[in-house]
């Protein structure tokens, strides 16, 4: 047995939402977590903490900033300021608390649909209004609408919640796009919150550029929120960071409550530090596995789902398919769940105009990918 990926019957014994939300006869291909085993170094760290009953509150953890700065330098050639790395319970809490600090109820926040469903919940929680500038699709990917973003800035949005790399597209935004956003953000006084949680899973033929590494304009307007939770499969440990790189932004985010640190997890904090410091080999294996599965899915869609638009991810483990040509109904994901017992994320969750789309998580076994494509193909006319 490959210890990197356990058999389905063992995966069903897990306790996360992915494996408990639906009955056991449903194949879960929805929640963005990988089926892979976590890195041995992290397993050993967690076991050691538990054996020593070292389960108190999270205090000072300089290891996190040091580890992340080293990781960013090795992988992206970016050297953050360790003194401006702060801890939050998870990226959702970080994003919400940052928006609370820089907006007031009723303000507008820019998003780019289709986008991570939780973004909509964050905005509701803060009491701000979404201003949607949808991505522009073409044959290869969906791209940022820079002209539309500028119009939004001109119309007074206070904040831009940027998904980079983009979920669900797996799109790695290009440097010139981020440079344009940073220039416009500084011109119009907009704060950019760049959610870069999927960045470590960028494929080796692509170049991920952190927002804060783009330009002085970016550093004067931006904050990065990220964690080891997606890339190292640690979502349940509840720890993340948010990073600034200018005195202007550090001062602005001084309004974020200190309790965002203290409400985070001791195990999560030290596991995140271990991941960023010592788990590059495991990460390379995870990226390779995701890319192989991406390539398999690409081939299967081409062979078995003619006429179904599909855009090849540049990183991560999520796929975005347009099932409108299959005439499955108003909510294809719901019908596939009911009739084929496979759970996908409905496109409507990621934006009001995407009811015929589905998001698939392919960080799983090849058998699960083949079963999912076969189930969708059964609706071909």
**Residue that the structure tokens 């589905």 belong to:** 358
Mean pLDDT of the chain: 97
Instruction: Please give the average per-residue pLDDT across 190-216, as a whole number.
Output: 98
Instruction: Please give the average per-residue pLDDT across 300-318, as a whole number.
Output: 97
Q: Is the pLDDT reported for residue 228 higher than 70?
A: yes
Count of C-beta atoms within a 10 Å radius of residue 320: 26
Could you give the percent of the chain with pLDDT greater than 90?
Answer: 98
114 to each of 211, 332, 344, 349, 379, how far by Cα in Å? 20, 16, 15, 9, 24
CB contact at 8 A, 309 and 301: no
Instruction: Please give the average per-residue pLDDT across 86-92, as a whole number.
Output: 98
Q: Which domains does the chain have, with CATH numbers?
A: 8-37+281-377 (3.90.1150.10), 46-279 (3.40.640.10)
Taking the C-alpha atoms of residue 286 and residue 231, their distance in angstroms, rounded to an integer, is 8
Spatial CB neighbours of 318, under 8 Å, sequence gap ≥ 6: 32, 167, 168, 169, 170, 359, 360, 361, 362
What's this model's pTM, rounded to 2 decimal places? 0.97
Residue 166: which of 342, 369, 359, 367 has the closest Cα?
359
Tokens of 117: 């469903």
Q: What is the pLDDT of residue 139?
A: 86
Q: Is the peptide bond before 4 cis (omega within 30 degrees of 0)?
A: no
The pLDDT-based confidence of 21 (bands split at 50, 70, 90) is very high
* Chain centre to alpha carbon of residue 316: 8
Tens of pLDDT, residue by residue over 127-178, are: 999 999 999 999 899 999 999 999 999 999 999 999 999 999 999 999 999 9
Spatial CB neighbours of 331, under 8 Å, sequence gap ≥ 6: 346, 348, 355
Tens of pLDDT, residue by residue over 330-378, are: 999 999 999 999 999 999 999 999 999 999 999 999 999 999 999 999 9
**Residue that the structure tokens 């550090």 belong to:** 250
Tokens of 210: 């952190």
Question: Based on C-alpha coordinates, what's the Rg of the chain?
Answer: 20
Q: What is the pLDDT of residue 1?
A: 36
Q: Is the pLDDT reported for residue 49 higher than 90?
A: yes
Q: Is the pLDDT reported for residue 305 higher than 90?
A: yes
Taking the C-alpha atoms of residue 199 and residue 239, their distance in angstroms, rounded to an integer, is 17
Instruction: Please give the average per-residue pLDDT across 58-82, as a whole number.
Output: 98
Q: Is the peptide bond before 165 cis (omega within 30 degrees of 0)?
A: yes
The pLDDT-based confidence of 17 (bands split at 50, 70, 90) is very high
Tens of pLDDT, residue by residue over 116-129, are: 999 999 999 999 99
The pLDDT-based confidence of 2 (bands split at 50, 70, 90) is low
């Amino acid at each position: 047995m490959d210890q990197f990926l356990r058999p389905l019957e063992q995966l069903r014994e897990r306790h996360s939402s992915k494996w408990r939300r639906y009955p056991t006869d449903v194949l879960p291909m929805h929640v963005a977590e990988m089926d892979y085993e976590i890195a041995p170094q992290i397993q050993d760290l967690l076991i050691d903490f538990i054996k020593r009953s070292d389960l108190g509150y999270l205090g000072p953890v300089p290891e996190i900033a040091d580890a992340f700065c080293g990781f960013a330098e090795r992988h992206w050639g970016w050297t953050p300021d360790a003194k401006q790395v702060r801890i939050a319970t998870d990226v959702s809490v970080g994003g919400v608390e940052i928006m609370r600090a820089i907006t007031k109820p009723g303000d507008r926040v820019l998003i780019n649909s289709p986008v991570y469903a939780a973004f909509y919940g964050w905005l509701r929680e803060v009491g701000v209004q979404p201003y949607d500038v949808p991505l522009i699709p073409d044959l290869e990917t969906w791209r940022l609408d820079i002209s539309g973003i500028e119009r939004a800035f001109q119309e007074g949005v206070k904040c831009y919640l940027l998904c980079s790399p983009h979920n669900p597209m797996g799109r790695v935004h290009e440097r010139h796009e981020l440079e344009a956003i940073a220039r416009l953000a500084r011109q119009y006084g907009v704060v950019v919150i760049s959610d870069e949680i999927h960045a470590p899973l960028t494929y080796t033929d692509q170049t991920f550029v952190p927002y804060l590494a783009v330009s002085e304009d970016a550093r004067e307007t931006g904050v990065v929120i990220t964690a080891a939770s997606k890339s190292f499969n640690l979502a349940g440990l509840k720890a993340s960071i948010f990073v600034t790189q200018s005195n202007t932004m550090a001062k602005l985010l001084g309004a974020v409550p200190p309790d965002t640190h203290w409400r985070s997890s001791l195990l999560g904090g030290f596991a995140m530090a271990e991941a960023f410091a010592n788990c590059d080999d495991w990460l390379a294996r995870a990226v390779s596995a995701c890319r192989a599965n991406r390539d398999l899915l690409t081939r299967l869609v081409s062979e078995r789902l003619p006429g179904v638009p599909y855009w090849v991810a540049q990183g991560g483990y999520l796929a975005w398919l347009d099932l409108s040509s299959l005439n499955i109904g108003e909510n294809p994901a719901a019908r596939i769940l009911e009739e084929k017992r496979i759970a996908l994320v409905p496109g409507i969750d990621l934006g009001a105009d995407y009811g015929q789309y589905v998001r698939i998580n392919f960080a799983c076994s090849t058998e699960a990918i083949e079963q999912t494509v076969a189930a969708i193909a059964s609706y071909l006319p």
